[in-house]
């Protein structure tokens, strides 16, 4: 079974991908790392060319990974914008279960402030404007995220909550 983790940058998609893969014995794939290996360019380099260049690479990676891991137990951590472009969310829903890690703008801002990972989308946003930017982005992306098979509050997520999802009727 394929499980796709979606949500805003900073909600813990990569963290939960690693933790859940160990807990349940699934393969773990970080889609951004896959894109970097596949293209030979970093995410910031792809974004520097254009956001559309990155989004096309993201869609291609999603299709490649879905085909590569079809029929296997794999958790794929997607980029924050992946579900919001092309037919990506519908594609994920067609090929597996989608878990939306939901977080408030304040939670996301706090997590991003302490992140060691470069987030190209936030690079040129002044610190005093980040919360408003995140609120706007959450509002724009939420309609896509809310199509997910499941929603988990990122702030209160636990292994037990995910275990309930993995053992639900949708996970067969």
Q: Tell me how far apart the alpha carbons of residues 110 and 90 are, in angstroms, rounded to a whole number.
A: 30
- Whole-number Cα distances in Å, 146 to 60, 85, 100, 102, 115: 23, 14, 7, 9, 25
The residue ranges of the chain whose pLDDT is under 50 are 171-172
- Count of beta carbons in the 10 Å neighbourhood of residue 117: 10
The predicted pLDDT at position 168 comes to 65
Three-state secondary-structure class, residue 154: coil
Does residue 74 contact residue 26 with C-beta atoms inside 8 Å?
yes
Give every CB contact of residue 144 below 8 A, 6+ residues apart in sequence.
83, 84, 89
Q: Give tens-digit pLDDT for 112-160.
A: 888 777 677 777 888 899 999 999 999 999 999 999 999 999 999 999 9
Predicted local distance difference test score (pLDDT) of residue 169: 57
CA distance 146 to 24: 25
Amino acid 172: pLDDT: 41
């Amino acid at each position: 079974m394929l499980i796709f983790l979606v949500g805003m940058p900073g909600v813990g998609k990569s963290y939960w991908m690693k933790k859940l893969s160990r807990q349940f014995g699934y393969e773990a794939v970080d889609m951004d790392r896959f894109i970097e290996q596949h293209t030979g360019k970093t995410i910031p380099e792809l974004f520097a060319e254009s956001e559309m260049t990155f989004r096309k690479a993201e869609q291609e990676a999603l299709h490649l990974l879905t085909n590569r891991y079809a029929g296997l137990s794999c958790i794929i951590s997607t980029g924050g914008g992946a579900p919001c472009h092309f037919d990506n969310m519908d594609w994920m829903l067609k090929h597996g279960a989608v878990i939306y890690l939901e977080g408030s703008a304040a939670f996301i801002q706090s997590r991003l402030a302490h992140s060691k990972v470069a987030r190209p989308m936030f690079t040129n946003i002044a610190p005093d404007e980040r919360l408003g930017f995140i609120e706007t982005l959450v509002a724009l992306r939420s309609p896509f995220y809310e199509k997910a098979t499941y929603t988990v509050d990122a702030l209160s997520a636990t292994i037990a909550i995910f275990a309930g999802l993995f053992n639900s009727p949708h996970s067969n």
